[in-house]
Amino acid sequence: MSPLSGKNIVLGITGGIAAYKSVTLLRLLVKAGAEVQVIITPNGKEFITPVTLSSLSGRPVISEFFTANTGEWHSHVDLGLWADAMVIAPATASTMAKMACGVADNMLVTSYLSARAPVFVAPAMDLDMMAHPATVRNIDRLRADGVHIIEPAEGELASHLVGKGRMEEPEGIFRVLEDYFAAGQDLAGKTVLITAGPTYERIDPVRFIGNYSSGKMGYALADEAAARGARVVVVSGPVAVRAENPSVEVRHIESACEMLAECEKVFPEADIAIMAAAVADYAPVSTAASKIKRERDEVPVIHLKKNPDIAATLGQAKRSDQVLVGFALETDHELDNAADKLRRKNLDMIVLNSLRDAGAGFGTDTNKITILRPGGLRTEYPLKSKKEVARDILDNITGKSPLV
């Protein structure tokens, strides 16, 4: 099976003579099992017809912001969320200049600016345009923005001159995409269990003991693991976030006991378990059947009991072929406390963050972590987005990050 099977690809086509090659690229992608949505610029339609592209892709081709006869709006935001990758082939000098400067005057560039997936660009133009300082500058800017540039080849161009500017052949572009997704599928065939968010421990029907966890870190881990090919099961406390990847299975719970019960169902079949949830340490001994009224003269006393330690429970059941990762959110003696949890709970790795670090902890879109492993191995990371942090954590689990 091709690594592109089941992937959602946006194929952008711009106004260059090499647009005819995009038909072959489209056929290769569809044959590999990819779902392809073509976006073509108005000038692109002068070189290849939408009817041809729609027939091959099985989808209506998008060119304008609105469908002229119905007024239907084409959402560039939805396309950006849908895509696993975006490839623009051919990419003219004009389109790359607009991309580099954020000039969103057509559907293709607007979709590029909304894309969260990797973007691949295959330039195609005459040799003097390719060598012009403005084009070189724009390509360098796109590279700095994280765009993958598929270098054009040397050969005879539309002007009959010979030089660099000939778009890479469709088969070459296809191999670049296949290689990219093949390299990123290091968790294919694996089952990953992730806990996320807080737990709520009920005091009465309207009150609970909980914490400020948003679940953002756990869900970022889920999306990253799914993107790497894993089957992902998230056991989630009450959160407002959701997985971006539709393949992620989410099991919603409320209390620590409910979370443990779901984890024990999944853990025997899991290859990797990541305990990213902020589980309440204590729960009321009893829950009032009706709302406790504040009009009572006496202030109610709530007696607490310890909640089960989910990571430690799974650590006792862990097999030698399983990886168990814990989290430690600390406010003091951070390294000592995290190292103690790593040993005591039989973890293979623990992710430490501190509330003393600005931008880390609950509710933020960023995190600053230190990863500890048995034997005193430790790796510190700077403040990053939680999406990047998820990548770092999984790189450690899969061995892509070196041990320090």
Each residue's pLDDT tens digit, 171-187: 999 999 998 888 777 89
Residue 75: band (very low, low, confident or very high) from pLDDT cuts 50, 70, 90? low
Residue 404: band (very low, low, confident or very high) from pLDDT cuts 50, 70, 90? very low
Does residue 159 have a pLDDT over 80?
no
Token pair 């765009």 is found at 147
Each residue's pLDDT tens digit, 290-313: 998 887 668 889 999 999 999 999
Instruction: State the DSSP string of 278-324.
Output: B--SEEESS--SSPPPTTSSSPP---EEEPP-HHHHHHHH--TT-EE
Mean pLDDT, the chain, rounded, equals 91
Does residue 403 have a pLDDT over 50?
no
Contacts of 248-257 spanning 24+ positions with Cβ under 8 A: 248/222, 248/223, 253/199, 254/199, 254/200, 254/202, 255/199, 255/200, 255/201, 255/202, 255/280, 255/283, 256/199, 256/201, 256/280, 256/283, 256/307, 256/308, 256/310, 257/283, 257/307, 257/308
Q: Is the peptide bond before 90 cis (omega within 30 degrees of 0)?
A: yes
Which helix or strand (DSSP H or E) is residue 375 part of? none
Q: Which domains can be identified in the chain, with CATH numbers? A: 8-183 (3.40.50.1950), 191-397 (3.40.50.10300)
Angle at 54 (CA atoms; ends 229, 72), nearest 5 degrees = 95
Instruction: Calculate the CA 74 to chain-centre distance.
Output: 23
Q: How confident is the model at residue 30, as a pLDDT?
A: 96
Amino acid at 74: H
Which helix or strand (DSSP H or E) is residue 257 part of? helix 256-266
Each residue's pLDDT tens digit, 239-249: 999 998 878 99
Each residue's pLDDT tens digit, 313-333: 999 999 999 999 999 988 889
Q: Which member of 8, 69, 138, 211 is catalytic?
A: 211
More confident residue, 269 or 330: 269
How many CB atoms within 10 Å of residue 271? Answer: 17
Q: How confident is the model at residue 400, as a pLDDT?
A: 58
For residues 106-124, give the mean pLDDT: 92
More confident residue, 185 or 13: 13
Report how far residue 54's alpha carbon sits from residue 251's, in angstroms, rounded to the nearest whole number.
38
CA dihedral of residues 357, 359, 360, 364 (deg, nearest 10): 160
Does residue 272 have a pLDDT over 50?
yes
Taken as a whole, the chain contains a residue count of 404
**pLDDT-above-90 percentage for the chain:** 71
Residue 72: band (very low, low, confident or very high) from pLDDT cuts 50, 70, 90? low
DSSP secondary structure letter of residue 189: T
Question: Annotated catalytic, 211?
Answer: yes
Q: Say what the pTM is.
A: 0.66
Residue 176 Rama label (left phi>0; alpha psi -120 to 50; beta) = alpha
Instruction: State the DSSP string of 110-143.
Output: HHHHH--S-EEEEE---HHHHHSHHHHHHHHHHH
Report how far residue 118's alpha carbon sits from residue 248's, in angstroms, rounded to the nearest whole number.
20
How many CB atoms within 10 Å of residue 69? Answer: 6
